Structure 1
Amino acid sequence: MRILITGASGQLGLELSSVLKGELIKTFNTREVQGGYRLDLENFSQLEDFIIKKRPDVIINTASMTDVDKCDVERERAYKINAEAVKHIVRASRVIEAYLIHISTDYVFDGQKGLYKEEDLPNPVNYYGLTKLLGETYALTYDDSLVIRTSGVFRHKGFPLYVYKTLREGKEVNAFKGYYSPISARKLAETVAELIGFRKTGIIHIAGERISRFELAIKIKEMFNLPSEVREVDEVKGWIAKRPFDSSLDISKSKKLLSTDFYSIEENLKYMVI
């Protein structure tokens, strides 16, 4: 099986490269990947041409502009990468009849209630969430596509790593009191590998257990016996874009479907690259 991974230098892309079996076609934009191809997702003709020439059986689109504040500032670029590029990936997928897995986010929701189900109505509160929702919409115009919504992916970076490194240095951590469903890139990659075999379509939520960032920071502090303190705050200084207060995802459907324990906090924290 030939599998194309866009964004192979990202956290999920790196883990997919080690977990997946088959012939992997890895693409990157800025951070080079060994054996990979440089591919600019903003060059739509090049993007379609590359996919059609390589003719993968499966395309996993992990590439995204994920910096929430940068998306609010660089809106045109965010739209091109998170939304418009997906339209062109779909166009090429149709030509070669590839199965498309598109990675999306809990930030398509407004955070008013939490534990969102797949069928709940999205209502993003920032531009990142809006562009990702548009990307979902493009992906779902293709019958042979699966949108995976996830939350707070971490590996060698992300909130858990920030907490660990900051506390280890003896500095205080300010943790936003809001809730989400963090998952390690490794556990997410394992679920993607399993889902390829099912060839499901539509939308599915793959994420960790609901937890506040404050509770998670306390758990990391205790797990690693780290010094310094964790303080709960209403907002983080320096944020430009609004964040949803509770963007946690209901994962009951994926828990029934998959054999992998992708959801327990303790299991996910094992895969922090520290």
Structure 2
Amino acid sequence: MKKKILITGGTGRFGNHLKHTITKHKLFFPTKKQFNILNINSMLRYFKKIKPDIVIHLAGFSRPMELHDKEINKSINLNIKGTANITMACSQKNIKLIYFSTHYVYPGINGNYNEEDPLKPFNNYAWSKLGGECSVMLYKNSLILRVCMTERPFVHKKAFTNVKTSFLYQDEVAKILFKLLNKKGIINVGGNAQNIYNFAKKENKNIKKIYQNKNLIKIPFDSSMNVKKLKKILKLNS
């Protein structure tokens, strides 16, 4: 069934992929001026204008992640308050809300995390995304996607061999997204667990190996996710 889908953060990297993804649904990409996530009345006015069936919430403060340590007001306003505002606006109009969270909400130590595992965000960025999750969880007509994705082509010339993750490329996630519109709850969205070097080497044979220093940890050593739930859904939809 064709849906009207409002997408926040349409000017971001992933939002641009969605603009070029073929779908039967009608997509709306409002500007920040048209749809201000810090102003509920602004959002309600836009809802009244286009009457969306679904809101996909991508907008927020993301990278570089280190800025979340220095600019906590921005982090709180955009990722926590902004998401809470969207949740309240959607709940007023009973609009389905799909929220993009991150795999960094998991501890990142043992890997293979499933959707019910305990959470311990790795950094301030992940805490801000978990703050957003908290408000979305209160609203039952919602879906939280804990996503592990990166740009294609892989942007770095070197990749860690001792860091494990569940990367998918952004264009792959864009195609998967429209198969999850009717789902609710929480779904891990990522690929098979592997070290970053092996992931990147598939498309760049010249990528160099590097190792993350245990005394200078920039990203979790193993933030890989269990994606059995996702694979089961995609198999049923194939």
Q: 1:45 to 1:72 in 2, by over 3 A?
A: farther
Are positions 1:59 and 2:42 aligned together?
A: no
Secondary structure of 2:198's aligned partner: helix
> Shift of the alpha carbon at 1:106?
0.3
Matched, 1:99 2:80: no
Counterpart in the other structure of 1:25:
28
Q: Offset at 1:84? A: 1.2
Deviation at 1:188, TM superposition (A): 1.1
**Deviation at residue 81 of structure 1 after TM alignment:** 1.3
Q: Say if 2:105 and 2:130, in contact at 8 Å, map to a contact too.
A: yes
The equivalent of 2:231 in structure 1 is 255
Residues 215-254 of structure 1 mapped to structure 2, 5 A cutoff: 215-222=198-205, 226=206, 230-235=208-213, 242-254=218-230
Residue in 1 aligned with 2:111? 114
Tell me if the contact between 2:167 and 2:199 (Cα under 8 Å) persists in the aligned partners: no
Counterparts in 2 of 1:70 and 1:40: CA distance versus 1, 3 Å: farther
Residue 48 of structure 1, CA deviation? 4.3
Distance 1:45 1:71, change over 3 A: farther
* TM-score normalised by length of structure 1: 0.76
- Deviations 1:133-179, CA, capped at 9 Å, x for gaps: 11111111111000011113324xxxx5223xx4xxxxxx2536311
Query: Alignment partner of 1:60: what SS?
Result: strand
Question: Would you tell me which structure has more helix in proportion to its own residues?
Answer: 1
> Cα distance, 1:258 vs. partner?
0.8
Residue 121 of structure 1, CA deviation:
0.9
CA deviations over 1:73-93 (Å, ceiling 9, x no partner): 211111111111111111111
Corresponding residue number in structure 1 for 2:178: 193
Q: CA RMSD in A?
A: 2.6
Could you list the per-position Cα deviations for residues 87-123 of structure 1 after superposition, in whole angstroms to 9, with x for gaps in the alignment?
1111111122111111111010121110110000110
Counterpart position of 2:73: 76
Q: How far apart in 2 are the matches of 1:52 and 1:93?
A: 12
The 3-state SS of whatever aligns with 2:97 is strand
Q: Of 172, 177, 195, which aligns to 1:212? A: 195
Q: Runs of 5+ in structure 2 lacking a partner?
A: none
User: Aligned to 2:209, what secondary structure does the other structure show?
Assistant: strand
Preserved contact between residue 48 and residue 88 of structure 1 (Cα < 8 Å): no
3-state SS of 2:29 partner: strand
Change (3 A) 1:195 1:150: same
Structure 1 residues 149 and 114, CA, compared in 2 at 3 Å: closer, same or farther? same
Amino acid at match of 1:248: S
Identity %: 28
Name the residue aligned to 1:268: none
1:47 correspondence with 2:43 = yes
Q: Where in structure 1 are there 5+ consecutive unaligned residues?
A: 30-36, 167-172, 262-274
2:169 pairs with one of 156, 170, 184: 184
CA separation of 1:3/1:233 partners in 2, compared to 1, >3 Å: closer, same or farther? same
User: Match of 1:195, SS?
Assistant: coil
* C-alpha deviation, 1:242, in angstroms: 4.6
Correspondent of 1:5 among 4, 7, 10: 7
Q: How many matched pairs? A: 233
Contact 2:55 / 2:95 at 8 angstroms: preserved in 1? Answer: yes
Q: Deviations over 1:183-211 (max 9, x none)?
A: 12222122211112xx2211011111112
Structure 1 residue 141 corresponds to structure 2 residue 138: yes
